[in-house]
Amino acid sequence: MEKDVQIPEGYMRDAMGRLVPLSLIKPIDQERDRLVREITTRGKELSALLAEAKARMFSDVGAFVDLSAEQYGAKLGGKKGNLTLFSFDGSLKVELRTASSIKFDERLQAAKALIDDCAAEWTEGSRAEVKVVIQEAFRADKDGELSVSRILGLRRWAITDHRWQQAMVAINDSIQVVGSKQYIRLFERVGDTDRYAPISLDVAAV
């Protein structure tokens, strides 16, 4: 459906792209359409404002960090690392964080094969919970992505079996940092306490 096609006066376009006379459309359906369009228009305007505010926040923080570094004759450039800025009275806080995007290469399959061997042997004639836990760690989500945290969490297990140890080496070697994403968080101090509450920029949380 072409969004820029003009709809003749006295008609509405339905979900199949057909022009339907207003006289055949119930008033409640027309009112629902009006409401949805009004709300989504406001939402798109708000989304654009948030995107603009976010870009300005990153730019302002980056410029300030460069200004601060110049006092020592240092030039930073590029993405800024993790940092926290406080207001003079300590009541407000801005955090800039960088999160790495991690993927696993083909060596993860070798790790899984070794771990499966361990699980098969350990669960032979006994409880199968260990095998279930391991299988869960390698379960992909609906988009086919593996959980980085679940797989890396296997390294916390103090298991001395040489196959398990080799699997952990394979997991470590398979880690590939494919990118990074910066995000900014805002906080304000709660009363006279040392606790900071986040200032939500999520529409669903306000």
pLDDT tier, 1 (very low <50, low <70, confident <90, very high otherwise): very low
Identity (one letter) of the amino acid at 104? F
Cβ proximity of 123 and 130 under 8 Å: yes
Cβ neighbour number for residue 64 with a 10 Å cutoff: 14
Residue 131: pLDDT band (50, 70, 90) is confident
Taking alpha carbons only, the member of 205, 199, 12, 203 closest to residue 87 is 199
What angle (nearest 5°) sits at the alpha carbon of residue 185, between those of residues 180 and 188? Answer: 165
Secondary structure of residue 119 in the 3-state scheme: helix
- Two tokens at 146? 């593996």
C-alpha 69/C-alpha 136 separation (Å) is: 47
More confident residue, 136 or 187: 187
What pLDDT, on a 0 to 100 scale, did the predictor assign at position 118? Answer: 86
Average pLDDT over residues 105-120: 90
| In contact, 101 and 181? CB cutoff 8 Å | yes
For 12-35, the pLDDT digits (tens) are 999 999 999 999 999 999 999 999
Distances (CA, A) of 5 to 37, 59, 94, 130, 162: 17, 39, 46, 59, 67
Average pLDDT, stretch 101-129?
Answer: 83
Percent of the chain whose predicted confidence (pLDDT) is above 70: 91
Among 50, 167, 148, residue whose Cα is nearest residue 100 = 148
Q: For residue 206, name the pLDDT band (cuts at 50, 70, 90).
A: low
Residue 2 has pLDDT above 60, yes or no: no
- What tokens were used for 194? 């040392």
The burial of 93, by beta-carbon neighbours within 10 Å (0-12 exposed, 13-18 middle, 19 or more buried), is given as middle
Binned at pLDDT 50, 70 and 90, residue 132 comes out as confident
**126 pLDDT above the threshold of 80:** no
| CA-based nearest residue to 80, from 92, 96, 69 | 96
The two structure tokens encoding residue 105: 């290469």
- State the alpha helices, DSSP H only, in the chain: 27-70, 107-122, 129-137, 148-153, 162-174
Distance between start and end Cα atoms, the chain = 35
DSSP state of 23: G
